[in-house]
Copies of this chain bind each other. A is one copy, B any other.
């Protein structure tokens, strides 16, 4: 979350201090006393599968332009987790899913985000790039561009998905990243 200079309610300057009864610093308005809380963001996405392959999108926007990702994005007000995940799947990959199931939650406290992934069947195997993607494609485990993935969380959810498929069980789990961000960035550093 970014910093804050002015109160979004009254326009006066905010200060950083611990409000009475609280135990951590917040942005507080020096004039109208509004406390501006900042909280983690939810990112919702899917693991769309067809004929044993997983659908990925190549990013047409920064950050990580040109790298591959599962369809995912910020959850919007007024929608459910699943509705948001399906919306992102359509927006980024023109993908429609069936048989959706809650799959995996990831804590990313260092970037103040929580990811929630659903898995599902890609209807008709149909997909196409939306405005934020330059390309969409289905990949088997061997074909996944492991060194060209956009974000560490995508590496983890894909690794986990293929392991789960070998075991034939897809438990819903929550946890942090398995791969360290440093290892991931090293692995996916583009050759110049």
Interface, chain A (partner B; CB < 8 A):
1-2, 4-11, 13-14, 21, 24, 27, 36-42, 74-83, 102, 105, 107, 109, 112, 114, 116, 131, 171-174, 176
Decide: B5 and A109 in contact? CB cutoff 8 A. no
Decide: B102 and A172 in contact? CB cutoff 8 A. yes
Select from chain B the residue with minimum beta-carbon distance to A101.
B174
Known: A6-B8, A11-B6. A37 touches B74 (CB 8 A): yes
Chain A interface secondary structure, helix, strand, loop or mixed? Answer: loop
State in angstroms the CA–CA spacing of A79 and B176 once bound together.
Answer: 11
Neighbouring B residues of A41 by C-beta, 8 Å: 39
Decide: B21 and A131 in contact? CB cutoff 8 A. yes
